[in-house]
């Protein structure tokens, strides 16, 4: 569990910075897309593969756009990129990842996934199984047993803009630390 007072965006940065050198590189995102491509058995040329890789790449380029021109993103740049009150390119790119990931996870034309499809998606990205189950409950805000893009975006807004740790807004980066269940 994050320490009380720790900002969720800083928690995500620390989580993504796996080698603890204080900066993020493309590799910290690239492996997420590749996990999904491999798990779902997608070919390089498949539309879904191209859409997903493009979505993560656009997100990465949007982060870099706020940086110093290098191919790395430090914590300050990362923080500022996610703190805009008027969601900008980073948020739009995040929306693109949501769409691409849900398509791969089995969302049909209605763009929504079932509990099982969502669970498989999140655990493939590295979210622990119990946390993935809790994330679905949070995400399914209208309780219809499926989650769609708007419900994922609501979680992202909660996590990045409202700084709500309980919002599963970073699940597409493999992070969710749900609050402990009530006693
Ligand atoms: Ca790093
Ligand atoms: Ca729903």
**CATH number reported for the structural domain that contains residue 36 in this entry:** 1.10.238.10
Q: Is residue 1 part of a domain?
A: no
Split into its structural domains, the chain has a count of: 1
Q: Is residue 56 part of a domain?
A: yes
Span from the CA of 23 to the centroid of ligand 1 (angstroms): 4
Q: What residues have their beta carbon closer than 5 A to ion ligand 2? A: 140, 142, 144, 146
Q: Is residue 49 part of a domain?
A: yes
Q: 72 is in which domain, residue-wise?
A: 8-173
**169 vs 73: CA distance, rounded Å:** 20
Q: Is residue 183 part of a domain?
A: no
Phi, psi of 25 (to 5 degrees): -125, 170
pTM, 2 dp: 0.92
**99 vs 76: CA distance, rounded Å:** 27
Note down pLDDT in tens along the chain; length 183 residues: 444 458 999 999 999 999 999 999 999 999 999 999 999 999 999 999 999 999 999 999 999 998 899 999 999 999 999 876 666 889 889 999 999 999 999 998 888 999 999 999 999 999 999 999 999 999 999 999 999 999 999 999 999 989 999 999 999 999 999 888 777
3-state SS class at 68: coil
Q: Is residue 60 part of a domain?
A: yes
Span from the CA of 170 to the centroid of ligand 2 (angstroms): 18
Q: Is residue 19 part of a domain?
A: yes
HEC string of 88-110 equals CHHHHHHHHHHHHHHHHHCCCCC
Q: Is residue 157 part of a domain?
A: yes
DSSP assignment of 154-182, as one string? HHHIIIIIS--TTS-TTGGGT---PPPPP
């Amino acid at each position: 569990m994050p320490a009380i007072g720790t900002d969720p965006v800083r928690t995500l940065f620390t989580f993504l910075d796996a080698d603890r050198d204080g900066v993020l590189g493309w590799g910290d995102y690239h492996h997420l897309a590749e996990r999904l491509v491999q798990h779902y058995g997608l070919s390089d040329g498949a539309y879904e593969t191209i859409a997903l890789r493009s979505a993560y790449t656009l997100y990465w380029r949007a982060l870099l756009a706020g940086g110093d021109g290098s191919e790395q993103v430090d914590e300050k740049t990362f923080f500022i990129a996610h703190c805009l009150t008027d969601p900008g390119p980073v948020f739009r790119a995040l929306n693109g990842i949501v769409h691409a990931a849900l398509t791969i996870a089995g969302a049909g034309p209605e763009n929504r996934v079932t509990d099982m499809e969502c669970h498989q998606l999140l655990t493939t990205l590295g979210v622990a199984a119990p946390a993935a189950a809790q994330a679905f409950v949070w995400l399914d805000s209208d309780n219809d047993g499926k989650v769609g893009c708007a419900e994922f975006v609501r979680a992202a807004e909660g996590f990045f803009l409202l700084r709500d740790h309980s919002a599963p807004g970073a699940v597409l980066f493999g992070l969710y630390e749900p609050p402990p269940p009530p006693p």
